[in-house]
Structure 1
């Protein structure tokens, strides 16, 4: 463990500085830009650095990437750093940065990847007018785990090449804008753990979206027209909302679906037989609803094979730590999970015997 000491003399040929994953403490040297005037990549992540971010970093015309994540930096984002015309990648995640997010950080013509998650930023997400930019390149935005409030600004839904938007665990509110339907490049959307309310946009037909997390909000209405033309959808998490009605038979059209989480809503009716068409399904949680009727017998024939690197050695209780786990022994072990509560199990009738050893682990919690 030591301080970040740099030479006092000019090093014009140094373009990459990477001292990540060490135990360096203290401030980032204020003269770092004058010592390394041609710096293109700066990675100081996963240390114990403290203090403010040097404003001069935004003045370096050759700077492409800055990663200061997982430190103990405080203060805000320097205005000059936010105005860089060359910076493409900025990760300031998991520090103690605070205050309002400067609007200019979203106005860069070069920035493509912006990660400000895990800090103490507050206030509204700034409103800007991206129509004034000839080309807007921002594709990944992560503002999760802050103290942001207000509604999502409309300009976000006009970023045609947006691929990732994560704003979970803030205090955001309002309706989910209908403009969400037209983001053709969007692959990952996480609005969970906020105060969004109202119905989900019924026009959501995005073919590109793969992971959708809307849990722990106050979304209401039915699932009739939501998401069921999204053939590439891998994760659908709508748990802990106020959704009503039945699980639509159209759910069987989500051919790539691997994770289905509808826990803790007000869903009624039977589990549709079409759920058995989800051959890629690994994790399903329908617990804490008002479902009844028959459990489709085809669930006893699904292999629930782990997919895409999921470990087959994890116990089902380790996957999500959810309530009301029904553990069908080796049948649903590993990354494979089927959840209904003990109370709900008594309301179901199984069409055919599962011929499986079942044990119920009750970990009740308030809804």
Structure 2
């Protein structure tokens, strides 16, 4: 295909039943700007793509690709805006450090449920234009690299369902454009950051299924645009402030399986919330 269609710019084969391997000749289609192979049954490794210097969007999600060696070849794609490769569970391995050398224009990386292991490469903090980082559902270990907090344009950060640990650095609060934060199902410790209340763009927060302790900071209840909040299955304690009623936009709330005490608030929209949202907090009443 790459030999017979040298001027091809868009190749979209998504949502079919295609299988087998991607021919290495695709690397000769040097004018490609869009390559969409998602939701098929492709297997084998993704070929080297180093000749695709005009490539802007690469979509590989929901296939059965193996290995991530091809990613190093993407450092030769200076126009790259998005890489989407989630739900390729056979990619198992380490997310290559070369990711830090990708295009500075890159805005989207989605690589959830690819069975990546080891640490998140620190070079990811070089991608200064990144808006959306989705690495959930892998087996990443260790700490969140401090360089991630340099991604000041970031709007969505999903690191849930990994094996990350340690405390959540207050540098997170430098991400002033952050709208969606998911750090659930890891092993993070310490209190919830007081400075999260300064991120007024937040609409969705999930810190569930960690080892967070102490009380919910009062600053949290100033996030008036919050729509989705999960804090269940931690070691949070103290009373739930009546100021929770400030969250007029909230549609989903889950605080169960903590150590809260006192009465369940009955403020504002919370008169309609069921007690299931607060279950397994033995000292709560209401």
**So what's the TM-score if we normalise by structure 1?**
0.73
Could you say which residue in structure 2 is the equivalent of 1:212? 205
Is the Cα–Cα contact under 8 Å of residues 208 and 233 in structure 2 kept in the other structure? yes
RMSD: 2.0
Total equivalences in the alignment: 282
- Find the residue that maps to 1:90 and give its secondary structure: strand
Instruction: Indicate which of 116, 119, 134 corresponds to 2:114.
Output: 119
Instruction: Indicate which of 10, 34, 44 corresponds to 1:16.
Output: 10
| Inter-partner Cα distance in structure 1 for 2:117 and 2:226 | 32
* CA spacing shift, 1:167–1:112, aligned 2, 3 Å: same
Is the Cα–Cα contact under 8 Å of residues 100 and 122 in structure 2 kept in the other structure? no
| Inter-partner Cα distance in structure 1 for 2:225 and 2:271 | 13
* CA spacing shift, 1:87–1:292, aligned 2, 3 Å: closer
Deviation per CA, 1:210-266: give whole Å up to 9, x if none.
110111111111013352221111111001111011111221122211111001111
| Inter-partner Cα distance in structure 2 for 1:281 and 1:255 | 12
| Inter-partner Cα distance in structure 1 for 2:274 and 2:155 | 24
Is the Cα–Cα contact under 8 Å of residues 49 and 72 in structure 1 kept in the other structure? yes
Could you say which residue in structure 2 is the equivalent of 1:90? 83
- Per the TM alignment, residue 271 of structure 1 is displaced from its structure 2 partner at its CA by 1.1
Higher relative contact order (CA 8 A, sep 6+): 2
Could you say which residue in structure 2 is the equivalent of 1:255? 248
Deviation per CA, 1:292-345: give whole Å up to 9, x if none.
44x3xxxxxxxxxxxxxxxxxxxxxxxxxxxxxxxxxxxxxxxxxxxxxxxxxx
Q: Structure 1 or 2: larger helix share?
A: 2
- 1:243 and 2:236 correspond: yes
Is the Cα–Cα contact under 8 Å of residues 206 and 229 in structure 1 kept in the other structure? no
Could you say which residue in structure 1 is the equivalent of 2:259? 266
- 1:230 and 2:239 correspond: no
- 1:46 and 2:39 correspond: yes
Could you say which residue in structure 1 is the equivalent of 2:280? 288
Structure with bigger gyration radius? 1
Deviation per CA, 1:64-99: give whole Å up to 9, x if none.
101111000001242112452111110111111122
| Inter-partner Cα distance in structure 1 for 2:124 and 2:99 | 13
* CA spacing shift, 1:104–1:281, aligned 2, 3 Å: farther
Could you say which residue in structure 2 is the equivalent of 1:33? 27
- 1:192 and 2:192 correspond: no
Q: How does 1:333-348 map to 2 (within 5 A)?
A: none
Is the Cα–Cα contact under 8 Å of residues 113 and 138 in structure 2 kept in the other structure? yes
Q: Which moved more, 1:225-234 or 1:21-30?
A: 225-234
- Find the residue that maps to 2:188 and give its secondary structure: strand
Could you say which residue in structure 2 is the equivalent of 1:142? 134
Could you say which residue in structure 1 is the equivalent of 2:160? 168
- Find the residue that maps to 2:165 and give its secondary structure: strand
**So what's the TM-score if we normalise by structure 2?**
0.92
- Per the TM alignment, residue 37 of structure 1 is displaced from its structure 2 partner at its CA by 1.8
| Inter-partner Cα distance in structure 2 for 1:278 and 1:235 | 14
Unaligned segments of structure 2, at least 5 residues = none
Unaligned segments of structure 1, at least 5 residues = 1-5, 296-367
- Find the residue that maps to 2:92 and give its secondary structure: strand
Could you say which residue in structure 1 is the equivalent of 2:99? 105
Deviation per CA, 1:134-163: give whole Å up to 9, x if none.
x82111101111110000011111211001
| Inter-partner Cα distance in structure 1 for 2:225 and 2:101 | 31
- Per the TM alignment, residue 104 of structure 1 is displaced from its structure 2 partner at its CA by 2.3
- Find the residue that maps to 2:189 and give its secondary structure: strand
* CA spacing shift, 1:239–1:83, aligned 2, 3 Å: farther
